[in-house]
Structure 1
Amino acid sequence: MPPRSLILPLLAGLLLAVPAPFASVWAAQPIGSYANGCIADARELPPEGSGYQAVNLSRGRNFGHPALVDYVAGLARRAGAEGLGRLAVGDLSQPRGGRMPSGHASHQIGLDADVWFDLDLPALPRDARERTDFPSMVDVSGQRIDPGRFGVRQRRLLQLAAGDPRVTRIFVNPAIKLALCEGETGDRAWLRKVRPWFGHASHFHVRLECPPDAADCVPQSPVPPGEGCDAELLSWFEPRKDTPREPTKIPPPPPACVALFKR
Structure 2
Amino acid sequence: MSDLQDRMKQAVAEAATEQIRSGMVVGLGSGSTAALMIQALGAKLKRGELTDITGVTTSFQGEVLAAELGIPLKSLNAIERIDLAIDGADEVDPAFQLIKGGGACHVQEKLVARRAERFVVVVDATKLVDTLNLGFLLPVEVLPGAWRQVQAELQALGGEAQLRMAVRKAGPVVTDQGNLVLDVRFAGGITDPAGLEQEINNLPGVLENGLFVGITDQVLVGEIAGDQPRVRDLEKR
Higher relative contact order (CA 8 A, sep 6+): 2
Q: Identify whether the pair has TM-score above 0.5, normalized to the shorter chain.
A: no
Q: Which has the higher strand share?
A: 2
- Bigger radius of gyration: 1
TM-score by length of 2: 0.30
TM-score by length of 1: 0.28
